[in-house]
Amino acid sequence: PTPTPVPADTPRALRAAWGKAITTRAELAAITNDLAGTYVLGADIDLAGEPWMPIGNNFHKFTGSLDGCGHVISNLTVTADSSNYVGLFGYLGSSGTDARVANLRIANATVSGRSYVGTLAGCAEDATVTNCSVVGATVMATGGPNYGRAGGLIGHIKINCFVSRCFAIADVSAGSHHVGGFIGVIDDDNHAPCVVSNCFSVGSVSSTANCVGGFIGYVTGGHGSGSFVFDCYTVARAHG
């Protein structure tokens, strides 16, 4: 007899195919207990009700993978005005690990932190982000003149990061430099360029300092390796 197929979006099937299935806020937060794990969303998740604690930081980085399977994480609220590395993920990836986030949608988010602030991630290093979107976000870097690095999707990317087929509809502001509607800073230091392709941003970008852009705030290449940005555009309004 032919076995009865299991629907592809059930937690059991998702876990068997791609890793641990995430269907609740508590399960999403529990990723912090295994930052190198493989995860997949099995349902939309509403984070309304209480502030979110970012997954990972610059000491304990997320080095696993998360496939959103097209699901939506809504009503993300992060208020961490005295902290760096702020977003759904605080720090995504680490040199040599190639962390991955794909097929994830974030809607109606408010994210604020001192520096390295983005809706999806505050910082990404040696990570791959594909087919992710942010719709209806407010992102704020609240630190003084020596802080900044805020973006509608990610605050700062560096060292072999690849971002493709993503977009951000967000209002981004900061009291410092390096502010972009999509990414705040691209840093390809250490001979490890980043690539951003087929992405766009919409919204507004403002700062009281310099290095402000509708798409990217600042691109740096300390060793001349040269990052690549192609087939991207912005219709964001930038003031700085």
Q: What is the pLDDT of residues 38-87, one digit of tens each?
A: 999 999 999 998 999 999 999 999 999 999 999 999 999 999 989 999 99
Least confident of 102-111, 149-158, 171-180, 224-233: 224-233
Would you say residue 190 has pLDDT above 70? no
Q: Among all chains, which residue has been given the structure tokens 């040269």?
A: 226
Query: CA-to-CA distance for 94 and 217, rounded, in angstroms?
Result: 22
User: pTM value?
Assistant: 0.90
CB 162 within 8 A of CB 133: no
Complete edge-to-edge strand list for the sheet that includes strand 89-92: 89-92, 121-125, 154-158, 183-187, 216-220
- Give 3's contacts (C-beta < 8 A, 6+ positions apart): none
Burial class (CB in 10 A: 0-12, 13-18, 19+), 59: exposed
Would you say residue 6 has pLDDT above 50? no
Query: CA-to-CA distance for 231 and 13, rounded, in angstroms?
Result: 36
Query: CA-to-CA distance for 229 and 128, rounded, in angstroms?
Result: 15
Q: Among all chains, which residue has been given the structure tokens 């310099």?
A: 210
- Please give the pLDDT value at position 224: 54
CB 174 within 8 A of CB 146: no
Q: How confident is the model at residue 177 (pLDDT cuts 50, 70, 90)?
A: confident
Phi and psi at 71, nearest 5°, equal: -75, 165
Task: List C-alpha distances in Å: 103 to 37, 72, 132, 223.
Answer: 17, 9, 5, 33
- CA 118 from centroid of its chain's CA atoms: 6
Would you say residue 135 has pLDDT above 50? yes
Helix (H) or strand (E) holding 28, with range, is helix 25-29
Gyration radius of the chain over CA positions: 17
- Please give the pLDDT value at position 225: 57
Nearest to 169 by CA among 240, 208, 119, 97: 119
Q: What is the DSSP letter of 55?
A: B
Measured over all CA atoms, what is the biggest interatomic distance in the chain, rounded to whole angstroms? 69
* The length of the chain, given as a count of residues: 240
Q: Which two tokens stand for residue 29?
A: 């937060």
